Amino acid sequence: MTAQHSAHHSGHSFGIDVGGSGIKGAEVDLATGEFVGDRLKIATPQPATPEAVAEVVAQIVAEKGWDGPVGITMPSVVKDQVILSAANIDKSWIGVDAQELFNQHLDVPFTVLNDADAAGLAEVAYGDEIARTGSVLFLTLGTGIGSALLLNGQLFPNTELGHLTVDKKEAEKQASSAVKDREELKTKQWAKRVNRVLHEYEALLNPSAFVIGGGISRKFDKWGEYLDIDTSVVPAQLRNRAGIVGAAMAAKEGVRP
Ligand code: BGC
């Protein structure tokens, strides 16, 4: 064993975020929520079948020389470690027992959870005070729209609000950041759609705040001004890091939503 591949640091963990376009992993310092070393990103195999994805997950762990527990996020409903939905990944994931699958590829303990749930928990732990106070709807705007419903930092898992019908169409099919790119929407046009969706969530849940994550939250100052809802809306602090950090937290704590 080289020094680099020595036993894992007890205060560190490892998170892997499985997304529609990339599978990303990093070691995380749980004291700070910061990455230790570089994040490794490998393009999601197409089709993103369970076998193909599990191989990449194992490859990331191996390349990073990590030998401790691992957290893995999926863009899916994950109940009792079984994948129950596949909106933006290969449909063959539905019904897959994630413990069985990853067991065949990893020789370290692991936990699988929904990507937005993981990101929401990371925001609670390392983000703004607002994320852990009261009733919060955390959303990730990316390939789809992910949601994490939080009450004083406690998670109600697998809410899947990106699939709520708003004006006869699924929210994520009109207001995700992938739709903005695909339809080449102007920032203002797209922000108006997000605004419409947030109004719907507001009417249903009346949260104390919305926290918005995903890559596009970085540019919140460019589009936040087009929102006109009463509930406060704040950009997430961890941005793209949240999924991996939340996964790493879950690995460490053995959280199994
Ligand atoms: C999936 C969710 C996921 C979200 C963000 C949705 O299409 O149904 O499980 O959290 O995308 O990736």
Task: Report yes or no: 211 and 127 within 8 Å, Cβ to Cβ.
Answer: yes
Question: Model pTM?
Answer: 0.95
Question: In the predicted model, is pLDDT for residue 208 greater than 60?
Answer: yes
Question: In the predicted model, is pLDDT for residue 256 greater than 60?
Answer: no
Backbone angles phi, psi at 58, to 5 degrees: -65, -40
User: How far is the C-alpha of 29 from the C-alpha of 11, rounded, in Å?
Assistant: 6
pLDDT, tens digit (0-9, with 9 covering 90-100), for 233-247 = 999 999 889 999 999
Mutate to test the pocket of ligand 1, among 73, 145, 173 (most ligand atoms within 8 A of CB): 145
Buried-exposed string 170-179: b where 16+ CB fall within 10 A, e elsewhere: bbbbbbbbbb
Q: Take atom 6 of ligand 1 and give the residue whose Cα is closest.
A: 144
Task: Report yes or no: 123 and 117 within 8 Å, Cβ to Cβ.
Answer: no
Question: In the predicted model, is pLDDT for residue 165 greater than 50?
Answer: yes
pLDDT, tens digit (0-9, with 9 covering 90-100), for 56-88 = 999 999 999 999 999 999 999 999 999 999 998
Strands 22-29 and 34-43: antiparallel
Find the 142 Cα to ligand 1 centroid distance in Å: 9
pLDDT, tens digit (0-9, with 9 covering 90-100), for 91-118 = 999 999 999 999 999 999 999 999 999 9
Q: Report residue 253's pLDDT band, with 50, 70 and 90 as the boundaries.
A: low
In the prediction, which pLDDT does 9 show? Answer: 79
